[in-house]
Amino acid sequence: MGIKEAVHPERVLLVRSVSKREALLEMIQCFEKRGEVKDIESLKEKIFYREKLMSTGIGLGIAVPHVRMEGIKEPLVVIGVSGHGIEDYGAIDNQIVRIVVMIVAGKEQHQKYIKLLAGVVTHLKRPGMIEKLVNAADTQEVYQAFMGADHVSG
């Protein structure tokens, strides 16, 4: 499964929260509202445990929180864009985080999970991508910028 199959316009949001914890909860709620993750409490625990071990803020204003858990049939992705930025994310370069891409995959989906994770990171690091996403006026524009046919592989 590539980016094209994992990303859906209904799972794109403009993050309102300015704190890391609240921003991650906003993104988790996206899965909850759509009924895509049955055990939301377990997802919260796994996401926050992962962040406690090591921040998923990879630099350049990007964070990619990711977990594998039971009950997920295909990898799921939520894209969150913060115009104001999340200052307390704890990214490795100490920059504020503006783009958060949360990936949730099934326990047995190791290959798909790794391929998707690598693809998302590579995609986000393309020249101009962060600016396009942050400057988008709404979620539809974010989705279109992210999914631009000339940029997305897989």
Q: Which token pair is 104?
A: 């949730």
Q: What is the distance between the alpha carbons of residues 134 and 89, in angstroms, rounded to a whole number?
A: 17
In terms of Cβ atoms closer than 10 Å to its own Cβ (0-12, 13-18, 19+), residue 151 is middle
Least confident of 16-30, 45-59, 107-121: 107-121
Q: How many CB atoms neighbour CB 103 within 10 A?
A: 19
pLDDT tens readout for residues 7-32: 999 999 999 999 999 999 999 999 99
Average pLDDT, the chain: 93
Domain covering 3-146 in this structure, CATH number: 3.40.930.10
- pTM score, whole prediction: 0.93
Q: What is the distance between the alpha carbons of residues 143 and 9, in angstroms, rounded to a whole number?
A: 6
